[in-house]
Amino acid sequence: MTLLIAMIEPPREGLVLPQLADTSPLTPAEAVDLYRAMTKDLLRAGMESGGDVLVNYRPDDLLAEPHVRERSSEDAVRELVAEALDEEELDGTRFEVQVGSSYEARVGNTVAHLLETEEQSSVAVAKPVAPLLDRSALDAAAMKLRRRDVVLGPAADGRVHYAAFGEPIDFAGAYAVPELETLTARARDADLDVDFIPPSVAVRTGADLRTLIPRIAARRRAGRSTPTHTTAFLDELPVRVAERSGERTLVRD
């Protein structure tokens, strides 16, 4: 099975989903609560897919000074993970610090180590920003990885919500905008086969949340599965999509 690397930050205001509070009616505290909910849903999806999960977190010395607290980054992340998993699942979950000065370096170091040193057959990387990345999506991606070297999950604006590798690539600059195109190019430069899973919402700004809210509501109304923790958070959030002056926007009731 594919090892899922969950790239998790300590849930602190200004550090997680920093653009969301500036581009939506959500407060910084609500943005943190949404991040916590999406993190739990990512971890649950990983557990339910039957694969192993590795929690990769930034240590305090890789955080900007405004985001450092008396409580360590590791403790904050471990507490959040413990809220999503039972005792047996928690015992089987690996925690490792990220190494590298940039996101692409941290991903590259982790992926290369797992594939080349630990000889994992395949690894997937996901940040907890795409709550619709559920068990079925992870299972479908794992099936594609049996036939392809790299599998990517597109998101809005050329971003990715999921990236999985059966072979390493050159990660230097691999997450340059637009990430989907750049990662694909790097894989093809290494003569690797690339495939894709369906696009999904990766929450970064209010526009992304404007897409996510009705999608989850529609799925629930249709009797389809929804991310448990994110759905519960949105149920309590007094924010909805409405039309104002001919434009769709988020409004607070």
* pLDDT per position as a tens digit, 45-61: 999 998 899 999 999 99
**Measured distance CA(58)–CA(6) in Å, rounded:** 12
Each residue's pLDDT tens digit, 44-100: 999 999 889 999 999 999 999 999 998 999 999 999 999 999 999 999 999 999 999
Give the burial string for 87-116 (b: 16+ CB within 10 Å, else e).
eebeeebeeebbeeeebbbbbbebbbebbe
Q: Are 201 and 226 in contact (CB under 8 A)?
A: no
Each residue's pLDDT tens digit, 132-152: 999 999 999 999 999 999 999
Strand 194-196: give its sheet, edge to edge. 94-97, 53-57, 3-8, 123-126, 160-165, 150-154, 194-196
Q: Answer yes or no: is pLDDT of 124 > 90.
A: yes
pLDDT of the residue at 157: 97
pLDDT of the residue at 51: 81
pLDDT of the residue at 18: 96
Instruction: Tell me which H or E stretch contains 53.
Output: strand 53-57
Residue 164 belongs to some domain of the structure: yes
Residue 251 belongs to some domain of the structure: no
**Measured distance CA(221)–CA(32) in Å, rounded:** 27
Question: Can you tell me which residue has the tokens 């794992």?
Answer: 142
The alpha carbon of residue 219 and the mean position of all alpha carbons in its chain are separated, in whole angstroms, by 20
> What average pLDDT score do residues 20-46 get?
98
Instruction: Provide the greatest CA pair distance for the chain.
Output: 57
pLDDT of the residue at 231: 99
Residue 246 belongs to some domain of the structure: no
The pTM score is 0.97
**Both structure tokens of 156:** 């809005």
CATH of the domain at 194: 3.90.550.10
Residue 197 has a CB neighbour count (10 Å cut-off) of 19
Residue 248 belongs to some domain of the structure: no
pLDDT of the residue at 202: 99
Sorting pLDDT into bands at 50, 70 and 90, what band is 113? very high
Please give the residue range of the domain that contains residue 35: 3-200
The DSSP output letter for 227 is -
User: Total structural domains in the chain?
Assistant: 1
Helix and strand totals (H; E) in the chain? 9, 9
Sorting pLDDT into bands at 50, 70 and 90, what band is 237? very high
**Measured distance CA(98)–CA(244) in Å, rounded:** 43
**Both structure tokens of 195:** 């495939």
Q: Are 124 and 5 in contact (CB under 8 A)?
A: yes
Residue 83 belongs to some domain of the structure: yes
Residue 36 belongs to some domain of the structure: yes
Half-sphere exposure of 68 (CA within 13 A, CB side): 7
> What average pLDDT score do residues 190-197 get?
99
Q: Answer yes or no: is pLDDT of 103 > 90.
A: yes
pLDDT of the residue at 217: 97
Residue 167 has a CB neighbour count (10 Å cut-off) of 16
Each residue's pLDDT tens digit, 147-177: 999 999 999 999 999 999 999 999 999 999 9
> What average pLDDT score do residues 112-138 get?
98
**Weakest mean pLDDT among 17-31, 57-71, 177-191:** 57-71
Q: Give the residues across from 95 on adjacent strands.
A: 55
Percent of the chain residues past pLDDT 70, beyond the cut? 100
Sorting pLDDT into bands at 50, 70 and 90, what band is 1? confident
Residue 176 belongs to some domain of the structure: yes
Residue 80 belongs to some domain of the structure: yes
The DSSP output letter for 100 is S
